[in-house]
């Protein structure tokens, strides 16, 4: 009977299939019907795609129609305008909030500043004694440095001589024991001298002398015998010392033997102890083996169970993989379907994106149109405002009846005209504004004439009858100028808005970069803190284990030291990390620690760079070792991610420069110092200018070999260089320093080693990023450059040996040995390997040099991509790179080496400053201005001779590798085109050097020899070289030239380029003028500027000049002041102006009293000027014009003729005269003349400069007339005004200051000699008086740049008010107030205000009250320097 199957049937394994998911774009019902039918699903998808396409087309059409709708465009424009307005309001609110915060901060700053001033006052009292002695200490320090350098040179010479004598002793020691006759040793001495000839020049000379004469040989033999005797005595003393040393060493050896015996006993004890320990360990090992066997049995059982479980799991995994494969096939099918749908959707999105871009472009166009419309509306408003102002000016001339009658018509006509023009559109309005010359006129009134009620024409036509069309044309030009100004103002506003937006975007980008940098720094700090905690835990563990910590002294290149605690088991990298943690610098692969070892070589201490992977114990370090934290490789990083690393790198390079490890010319050293000052101090200010040498000497910025010209000279030169680096942030300034040093320094990046050739001659090897360089012992000549890439010779490999390093060149099969010590050989070898592995990878592949342990060395270096490639060419180490450098070096060499009989007065600083300006700005010396420098004949002869020698200097004679290297960067920058030696202490002896210089300076075009007494004899000597020049300007004032000398100079007028000749203050008469006129008539004469002031030319000479000027229409500038002319002479000047012969500048001043032009003559002259459009400048100074220039009245007292008003008619607006400069100094003018002057100037828009000093323009009470106030408040063209010494008292000066506050054109004003305080007031210490007008004037005026208020009785109170105004002024550059009543206390108190001013550069307060006491003067001077930013201060 069969057994029934009672076991349950085995079920087949189920396969999981993912349920399809309904897409969002498909209806659920449709998806359920089609999800199992792919064809229906595909048809459904295609229908959906077509529906989407139709919807998209419909949407596109609606969008296009909507975009073409003007209402939509207008709405978008309005919305954009509203958004801009909201943004403007938000920015305005933010600005107001910032202003509030700023005010709060300012209050806090004021409190802190007060505390700071108190502390500075206490500090300055402590520094007072130091500041007094600083100059003397500096001089002593310089002398000490010079003597130290001299002694050091002597010491080196002595050491070299001792070495030579030691070698001589070695050669002669075999012969000293024989004691034979000296005459039999001749051959031995000659052979010894021949062997020593290559090492010492002195012995070579000795050998030559021995060959020449026997007498000299006998003397040399005798001297050598004496030296041998001395050496014998020294050897005996050395033998005694050696015996003493031997006895000491024997005692030490015995002590060491005893220590060895005790050590052997201790070793035996340790051996017994170790045997016992071995027995114990063997017993423990047997026990552990048994336990290990039992554990292994258990592990075998567990392994068997795990293998069974793994087999079952593997079978299940295979089943799951099959199911996953089926799911993947389904997923692939669905993904293909989705890919088609996604492509369709992507196309639709791309179309939408294109539509959005088009919409955005149209929005931008609409916004631009809206902005242009807004600008046009603003322009229209500005033009209307201008028209309205002109209308008000015209109305001011009408009487009350006419004004009331025209007012209604004017307003109605103006409104209708404006509406009509605006309806026509912007183009029509602008065209009408440009074409209508009567736009500013009142409708219905004739142009140029407005009738007063029964009083005739109000505006009188100018004398000479100018036609109305010219007036209309001028009015049209004025309107055009105003419209152009309006356009420029709008463009400036648009530029400002764009700049503000760009600035906001830049600030946002900087904030984002700062945020990212802060996040990076935060992560780095967290890492460093974690590393510090780990290191602290490790240190605690070591201390618990009994390992002692050592204190190592780490030195830095800037001279500082730090004590760092470390363990001998620490690696060098651990020590570097500890140092970085100590000084607050992030660790870097570029940091190394070197052990300075003294090998008594030419270079002194040698750096042995420690291996970072070794421990301090393995490196043999102890606490007495000299350890230096520095960079090993001089490579420029592509990106300086850490400013601290860049700063350390910069400090090391700077130390190499100032210590003259790298030799640099003075020009390069000064340029580098400018970048250093910018990196350390920031932008140059007056306060920083005087702080360069507060705590450091000159050697902190420059090498010790620079010109020894004192601190004042270098302070000024460094300050000028510092100012050229303005606005450079510290990181950028350091980068510029590195770039300049890398580009121009011949020793850039070199690490120097002491080497010798096969003849034992000393040389220097420099290993740098570009290869190996062999230099002379003084580093001044590069003998050979073996570069990795390029150059005359190329490195092919290097190997180290026990005696030096072998170098192989690519163009040679031989290897060259450069002998050196073992340490320096190792360092050279390592540096060459490391610099090679830091080359770009493609360069390394091309060179294919075999490096041992290549991967190990490369692993501890930064990748090559981190650095810039090495420089292709290196600057040759030449002493001079230009003629200007050679000239300066030659001049200083002669000046400082001059003997006591030399009459020169030391260096001429003005001459040196011009050479320095050329060198520091890298420009040519074209202007040689040594005027007023106090030169004597000896100084000038030296300068002229050295300039000639510099022009003849051949730079190819200097030592260099090749002539190409010597001339590669050479500059012929001594191209003098202007020479000015006027006003020096020269005599006729200076004519000869001047003549020689003129014959060599072929580029001279402008010469000023004023002040050299030629005495009518030496002129011809100078004319000869001048005839060979292309001369354009010649000035020989105060040269004692008479008629004979002037005739010699007439030859120069044959030069067709000479346009300016000044022969003022000589003894020339009318006889020479006649000959001069003949030259002016010649067609090749180009003379346009003639100066004949203060000669002996009478009326006849002037008449001759007038005749020729009428024919030749030249010169354009004539200076005829102080010549002995009669009254008719003044009238001749009027005739000259009436002829309109091209004269633009006329000087008829009367400083010596020879001219004496009175008021009636001056009136005649100005009448002729009225219709002269050519004249631009006239100088009437020192003529008694005001004596008979007054109002004329009839017997009844009625004014019949106003002569002062007639005199100034040429300044009225209707006049044709275009004068821009008028000088009426010391012309006896009164208040009436001043009133007439300002009346004429109220409508004048041509005058730029007015000088009326030394007159009496004030009112009888010392006040100022209303006309001057109106002039100062309304003028828009007057830029310079001199009203000094015109009798204004306190009330007048106060009113002038109020008017100056509202002035918008003056850039300079001179008010000397007027009184700022009343005489009855106490100068200082009395009751406080308010001077708010001064505060208001100097705080609100934004145009004044130069103010002079000398000798005005300014007290401490007035000065404090002036400084309070200057505290808010950001436009003033120079302020002069010498010879006033300001005390030391007033000077000190003013610094609290002047410290807030950041733009004032020059301040002159020369006061006797401050100068009386030397201590008070020094205290005030130091206080000003420490508390203000003013560059130049005179007390």
pLDDT above 70 covers a percentage of the chain that reads 77
- What is the C-alpha separation between 1137 and 1139, in angstroms, rounded? 5
Distance CA 714, CA 79 (A): 62
Tell me the C-alpha distance between 549 and 547, whole Å.
7
- Strand partners of residue 561: 555
**Banded model confidence at residue 899, pLDDT cuts 50, 70, 90:** low
* Predicted confidence band of residue 750 (pLDDT cuts 50, 70, 90): very high
Residue 9 has pLDDT above 50, yes or no: no
Query: What pLDDT score does 10 carry?
Result: 36
Give 115's Cβ-side CA count (13 Å radius): 5
> Per DSSP, what are the bridge partners of residue 597?
606
What are the tens digits of pLDDT across the range 1091-1148? 999 988 888 888 888 888 878 777 889 998 988 887 677 788 888 888 888 889 999 9
pLDDT band at 1020 (very low <50, low <70, confident <90, very high): confident
pLDDT band at 71 (very low <50, low <70, confident <90, very high): confident
What are the structure tokens assigned to 394, written together? 């015209």
* pLDDT, tens digit, 9 for 90 and up, residues 669-718: 999 999 998 888 888 877 777 667 666 777 788 888 787 787 788 888 88
Average pLDDT over residues 838-849: 88
363 pLDDT exceeds 80? no
Q: How many angstroms from the chain centroid is the CA of residue 467?
A: 56
The model's pLDDT over 107-156, given as tens digits with 9 standing for 90+, comes to 777 777 777 777 766 776 666 667 666 666 776 777 777 777 777 777 77
DSSP annotation of 868: P
- Give pLDDT, residue 267: 73
Provide the 10 A C-beta neighbour count for residue 1172.
22
Q: How confident is the model at residue 341 (pLDDT cuts 50, 70, 90)?
A: low
pLDDT digit string (tens) for 801-833?
A: 888 899 988 878 788 888 888 999 999 999 999
Sign of CA pseudo-dihedral 1392, 1394, 1397, 1401: negative
pLDDT for res 137: 72
1170 vs 25, 463, 1113, 1243, 1244, CA distance in Å? 91, 7, 19, 15, 13
Could you give the CA distance from residue 1166 to residue 1146 in angstroms, rounded to a whole number? Answer: 12
pLDDT band at 426 (very low <50, low <70, confident <90, very high): very low
CB hemisphere CA count around 159 (13 angstroms): 9
Write the burial class of residue 295 (CB in 10 Å: 0-12 exposed, 13-18 middle, 19+ buried).
exposed
The whole-angstrom separation of Cα 1293 and Cα 1315 is 7
- How many angstroms separate the CA atoms of 1168 and 1412, rounded? 55
Please give the residue that has the higher pLDDT: either 753 or 1191. Answer: 753
Residue 490 neighbours by CB under 8 Å, 6+ apart: 375, 378, 379
Alpha-carbon gap, residue 906 to 898, rounded angstroms? 9
Report, as an integer, the average pLDDT of 404-414. Answer: 51
DSSP state of 615: B
∠ CA 942-945-949, rounded to 5°? 130
Annotate 877-891 with b (16+ C-beta within 10 A) or e (fewer). bbebbbbbbbbbbbb
pTM over 0.85: no
Most confident of 177-191, 813-827, 961-975, 1123-1137: 813-827
What mean pLDDT do residues 757-768 have? Answer: 88
What number is the average pLDDT over the span 1369-1375?
90
Beta strands in 1092-1176 (DSSP E): 1117-1119, 1145-1147
Please confirm whether the linkage preceding 1115 is cis (ω < 30° from 0): yes
The answer to whether residues 1122 and 1094 touch, using CB atoms and an 8 Å cutoff, is yes
From residue 1124, alpha-carbon distances to 1093, 1108, 1131 in Å are 10, 20, 14
What percentage of the chain's residues is helix, strand, coil (to nearest 5)? 55, 10, 35
Looking at residue 443, what is its pLDDT?
35
Pairing of strands 1060-1062, 1033-1035: parallel
Q: Which residue has the higher pLDDT, 188 or 130?
A: 130
- Under DSSP, is residue 1393 helix (H, G, I), strand (E, B) or coil? helix
Q: What is the dihedral of CA 517, 522, 527, 531, to 10 degrees?
A: 120
3-state SS string for 76-87: HHHHHHHHHHHH
Sign for the CA dihedral angle at 1041, 1045, 1047, 1051 comes to: negative
Residue 1005 has pLDDT above 70, yes or no: yes
- Side-chain-side CA neighbours of 1196 within 13 Å: the count stands at 2
pLDDT, average across residues 413-433: 49
Average pLDDT over residues 354-383: 69
pLDDT of residue 61: 82
**What is the residue-wise DSSP string for 780-824?**
S-EEEEEESSSSSEEEEEEEE-SSEEEEEETT-SSEEEEE--HHH
Query: Could you tell me which of 614, 618, 656, 608 has the C-alpha nearest to residue 827?
Result: 608
172-186, 620-634, 1366-1380: least confidently modelled range: 172-186
Is pLDDT at 948 greater than 50 in this prediction? yes
* Predicted pLDDT of residue 219: 67
Of 890, 985, 1022, 899, the residue nearest 945 (C-alpha): 890
Q: CB-based contacts of 714: which residues, under 8 Å, 6+ apart?
A: 698, 702, 706
CA distance 1135 to 1105: 12
Specify the range with the lowest mean pLDDT, choosing from 368-372, 649-653, 889-893, 1043-1047: 368-372
Residues sharing a CB contact under 8 Å with residue 1180, sequence separation 6 or more, in sequence order: 1148, 1149, 1157, 1162, 1223, 1224, 1227
pLDDT attached to residue 976: 92
The pLDDT of residue 1254 is 93
CA-based Rg of the chain, rounded to a whole angstrom? 47
Asked if residue 634 lies in contact with residue 741, where contact means CB atoms within 8 angstroms, the answer is no
pLDDT for the residue numbered 99: 75
Collapsing DSSP to helix, strand or coil, 1173 comes out as: coil
Checking if the pLDDT of 1035 tops 90, the result is yes
Neighbour-count burial for 951-970, b at 16+ CB within 10 Å, e otherwise: beeebeebebbeeebbeeee
Q: Which strand (E) or helix (H) includes residue 774? A: strand 771-775
The phi and psi torsions of 1348 (rounded to 5 degrees) equal: -125, 125
DSSP character at residue 1282: E
User: Are 1051 and 1022 spatial neighbours (Cβ–Cβ below 8 Å)?
Assistant: no
**Pseudo-torsion of CA 382, 385, 390, 394, nearest 10°?**
170
- SS3 state at 1175: coil
CA atoms within 13 A of residue 1341's CA, in its CB half-sphere: 32
The two three-digit tokens of residue 71, written as one number: 């209402």
Pairing of strands 762-768, 751-756: antiparallel
On the question of pLDDT at 406 being above 50, the answer is no
Name which of 1206, 1208, 1210 is nearest 1173 in CA terms: 1210
Structure tokens, 1382: 């300001």
User: Residue 1177 pairs with which residues in a beta bridge?
Assistant: 1145, 1221
Model pLDDT for residues 260-309, shown as the tens digit of each residue:
777 777 777 777 766 776 766 767 677 776 776 776 677 666 767 776 77
**Least confident window among 189-193, 328-332, 1219-1223, 1258-1262:** 189-193
Residue 241 has what pLDDT?
73
pLDDT tens digit string along 926-939? 999 999 888 999 99
Whether the pLDDT of residue 531 is over 90: the answer is no
Q: How far apart are the first and last CA of the chain?
A: 139
Q: Is the pLDDT of residue 1083 over 60?
A: yes
Percent of the chain with pLDDT over 90: 20
Q: Which residue, among 1286, 1369, 1403, 1211, has the nearest Cα to 462 in the 3D structure?
A: 1211
Q: How far is CA 1431 from the centre of its chain?
A: 16
| Nearest by Cα to 952 from 1020, 1006, 1002 | 1002
Query: Which helix (DSSP H) or strand (DSSP E) does residue 1345 occupy?
Result: none
Alpha-carbon distance of 1087 to 1055, in angstroms, equals 10
Among the residue ranges 6-20, 579-593, 1357-1371, the one predicted with the least confidence is: 6-20
Which of 220-229, 403-412, 594-603 has the highest average model confidence (pLDDT)? 594-603
């Amino acid at each position: 009977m069969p057994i029934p199957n009672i076991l349950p049937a085995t079920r087949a394994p189920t396969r999981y299939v993912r349920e399809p998911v309904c897409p969002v774009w498909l209806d659920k019902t449709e998806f359920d019907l089609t999800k199992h039918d792919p064809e229906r699903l595909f048809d459904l998808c295609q229908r959906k795609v077509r529906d989407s396409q139709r919807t998209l087309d419909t949407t596109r059409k609606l969008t296009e129609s909507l975009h073409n709708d003007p209402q939509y465009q207008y709405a978008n424009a309005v919305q954009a305008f509203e958004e801009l307005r909201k943004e403007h309001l938000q920015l305005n609110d933010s600005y107001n909030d910032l202003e509030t915060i700023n005010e709060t901060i300012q209050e806090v700053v004021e409190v802190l500043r007060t505390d700071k001033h108190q502390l500075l006052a206490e500090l300055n009292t402590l520094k007072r004694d130091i500041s007094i002695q600083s100059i003397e200490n500096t001089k002593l320090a310089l002398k000490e440095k010079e003597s130290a350098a001299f002694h050091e040179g002597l010491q080196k010479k002595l050491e070299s001589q001792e070495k030579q004598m030691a070698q001589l002793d070695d050669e002669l020691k075999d012969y000293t024991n024989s004691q034979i006759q000296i005459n039999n040793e001749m051959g031995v001495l000659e052979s010894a001298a021949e062997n020593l000839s290559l090492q010492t020049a002195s012995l070579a000379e000795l050998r030559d002398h021995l060959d020449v004469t026997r007498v000299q040989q006998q003397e040399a033999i005798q001297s050598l015998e004496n030296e041998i005797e001395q050496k014998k005595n020294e050897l005996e003393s050395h033998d005694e010392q050696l015996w003493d040393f031997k006895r000491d060493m024997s005692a030490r050896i015995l002590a060491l033997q005893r220590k060895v015996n005790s050590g052997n006993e201790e070793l035996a004890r340790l051996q017994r102890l170790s045997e016992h320990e071995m027995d114990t360990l063997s017993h423990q090992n047997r026990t552990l083996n048994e336990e290990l066997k039992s554990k292994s049995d258990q592990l075998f059982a567990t392994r068997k169970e795990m293998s069974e479980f793994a087999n079952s799991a593997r079978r299940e995994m295979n089943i799951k993989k099959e199911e996953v494969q089926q799911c993947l096939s389904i997923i692939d099918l669905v993904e293909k379907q989705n890919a088609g749908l996604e492509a369709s959707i992507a196309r639709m999105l791309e179309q939408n994106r294109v539509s959005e871009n088009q919409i955005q472009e149209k929005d931008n166009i609409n916004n631009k149109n809206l902005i242009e419309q807004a600008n046009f509306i603003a322009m229209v408003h500005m033009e209307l405002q201008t028209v309205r102002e002109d209308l008000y000016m015209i109305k001011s001339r009408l009487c009350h009846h006419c004004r009331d009658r025209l007012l209604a018509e004017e307003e109605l006509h103006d409104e209708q005209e404006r509406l009509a023009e605006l309806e026509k559109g912007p183009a029509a309005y602008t065209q009408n504004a440009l074409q209508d010359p009567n736009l500013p006129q009142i409708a219905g009134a004739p142009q140029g004439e407005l009738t007063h009620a029964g009083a005739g024409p109000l505006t009188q036509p100018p004398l000479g009858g100018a036609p109305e069309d010219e007036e209309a044309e001028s009015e049209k030009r004025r309107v055009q100028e105003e419209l152009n100004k309006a356009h420029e103002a709008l463009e400036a506003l648009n530029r400002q808005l764009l700049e503000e937006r760009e600035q906001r975007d830049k600030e946002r980008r900087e904030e984002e970069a700062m945020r990212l940098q802060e996040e990076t720094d935060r992560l780095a700090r967290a890492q460093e803190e974690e590393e510090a905690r780990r290191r602290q835990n490790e240190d605690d563990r070591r201390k618990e284990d009994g390992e002692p910590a050592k204190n190592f002294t780490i030195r830095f290149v800037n001279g500082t030291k730090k004590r760092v605690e470390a363990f001998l088991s620490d690696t060098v990298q651990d020590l570097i990390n500890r140092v970085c943690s100590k000084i607050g610098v992030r660790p870097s692969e570029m940091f190394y620690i070197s052990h300075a070892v003294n090998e008594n070589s030419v270079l002194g201490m040698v750096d042995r760079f420690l291996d970072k992977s070794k421990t301090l114990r393995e490196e043999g370090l102890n606490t007495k070792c000299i350890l230096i934290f520095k960079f090993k490789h001089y490579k420029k990083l592509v990106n300086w991610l850490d400013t601290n690393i860049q700063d350390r790198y910069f400090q090391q390079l700077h130390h190499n420069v100032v210590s003259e490890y790298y030799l640099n010319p003075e020009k390069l050293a000064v340029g580098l110092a400018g970048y250093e000052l910018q990196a350390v101090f920031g932008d140059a200010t007056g306060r920083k200018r005087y702080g360069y040498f507060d705590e450091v000497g000159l050697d902190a910025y420059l090498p010790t070999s620079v010109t020894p010209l004192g601190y004042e000279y270098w302070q000024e030169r460094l300050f000028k260089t510092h100012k050229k680096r303005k606005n450079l942030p510290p990181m950028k300034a350091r980068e510029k320093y590195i770039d300049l040093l890398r580009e121009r320094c011949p020793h850039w990046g070199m690490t120097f080693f002491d080497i010798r050739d096969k003849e034992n001659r000393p040389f220097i090897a420099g290993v740098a990023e570009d290869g190996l360089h062999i230099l002379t012992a003084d580093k001044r000549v590069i003998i050979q450059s073996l570069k990795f890439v390029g150059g005359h010779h190329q490195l092919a490999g290097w190997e180290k040996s026990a005696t030096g390093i072998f170098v192989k060149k690519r163009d040679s099969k031989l290897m060259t040995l450069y002998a050196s010590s073992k340490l320096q050989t190792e360092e050279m070898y390592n540096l060459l390997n490391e610099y090679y592995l830091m080359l770009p990878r493609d360069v390394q592949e091309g060179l294919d040099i075999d490096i041992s342990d290549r991967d190990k060395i490369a692993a501890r270096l930064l990748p090559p991509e981190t650095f810039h490639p090495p420089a292709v060419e290196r600057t040759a180490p030449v002493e001079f790179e230009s003629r200007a450098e050679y000239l300066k070096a030659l001049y200083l060499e002669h000046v400082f080496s001059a003997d006591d009989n030399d009459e020169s007065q030391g260096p001429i600083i003005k001459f040196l400053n011009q050479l320095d300006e050329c060198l520091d700005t890298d420009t040519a010396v074209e202007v040689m201005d040594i005027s007023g420098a106090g030169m004597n004949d000896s100084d000038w002869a030296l300068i002229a001779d050295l300039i000639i020698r510099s022009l003849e200097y051949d730079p190819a004679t200097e030592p260099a590798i090749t002539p190409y290297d010597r001339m590669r960067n050479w500059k012929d920058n001594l191209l003098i085109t202007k020479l000015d030696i006027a006003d020096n202490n020269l005599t006729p002896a200076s004519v000869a050097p001047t003549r020689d210089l003129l014959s060599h300076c072929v580029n001279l075009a402008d010469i000023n020899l004023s002040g050299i007494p030629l005495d009518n004899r030496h002129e011809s000597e100078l004319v000869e070289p001048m005839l060979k020049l292309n001369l354009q300007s010649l000035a020989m004032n105060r040269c004692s030239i008479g008629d004979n000398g002037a005739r010699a100079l007439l030859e120069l007028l044959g030069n067709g380029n000479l346009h300016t000749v000044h022969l003022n203050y000589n003894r020339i008469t009318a006889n020479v003028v006649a000959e001069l006129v003949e030259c002016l008539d010649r067609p090749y004469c180009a003379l346009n500027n003639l100066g004949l002031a203060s000669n002996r030319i009478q009326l006849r000479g002037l008449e001759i000049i007038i005749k020729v000027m009428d024919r030749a229409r030249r010169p354009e500038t004539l200076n005829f002041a102080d010549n002995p002319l009669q009254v008719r002479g003044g009238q001749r000047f009027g005739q000259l102006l009436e002829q309109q012969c091209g004269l633009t500048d006329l000087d008829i001043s009367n400083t010596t009293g020879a001219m004496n032009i009175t008021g009636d003559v001056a009136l005649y002259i100005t009448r002729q000027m009225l219709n002269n459009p050519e004249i631009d400048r006239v100088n009437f100074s020192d003529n008694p014009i005001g004596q008979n220039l007054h109002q004329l009245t009839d017997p009844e007292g009625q004014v019949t003729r106003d002569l002062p008003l007639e005199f100034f008619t040429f300044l009225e607006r209707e006049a044709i005269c275009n004068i821009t400069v008028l000088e009426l100094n010391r012309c006896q003018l009164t208040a009436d003349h001043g009133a007439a002057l300002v009346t004429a100037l109220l409508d004048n828009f041509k005058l730029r400069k007015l000088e009326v000093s030394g007159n009496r323009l004030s009112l009888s009470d010392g006040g100022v007339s209303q006309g001057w106030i109106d002039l100062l408040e309304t003028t828009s063209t007057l830029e310079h005004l001199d009203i000094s010494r015109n009798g204004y008292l306190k009330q007048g000066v106060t009113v002038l200051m109020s008017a100056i506050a509202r002035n918008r054109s003056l850039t300079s004003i001179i008010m000397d000699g007027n009184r700022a305080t009343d005489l009855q007031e106490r100068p200082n210490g009395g009751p406080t008086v308010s001077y708010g007008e001064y505060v208001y004037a100097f705080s609100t005026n934004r145009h004044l740049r130069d103010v002079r208020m000398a000798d005005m009785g300014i007290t401490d109170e007035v000065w404090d008010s002036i400084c309070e105004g200057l505290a808010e002024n950001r436009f003033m550059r120079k302020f002069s107030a010498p010879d006033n009543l300001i005390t030391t206390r007033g000077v000190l108190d003013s610094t609290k205000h002047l410290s807030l001013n950041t733009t004032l550069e020059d301040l002159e307060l020369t006061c006797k009250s401050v100068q009386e006491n030397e201590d008070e003067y020094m205290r005030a001077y130091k206080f000003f320097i420490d508390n203000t930013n003013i560059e130049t201060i005179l007390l």
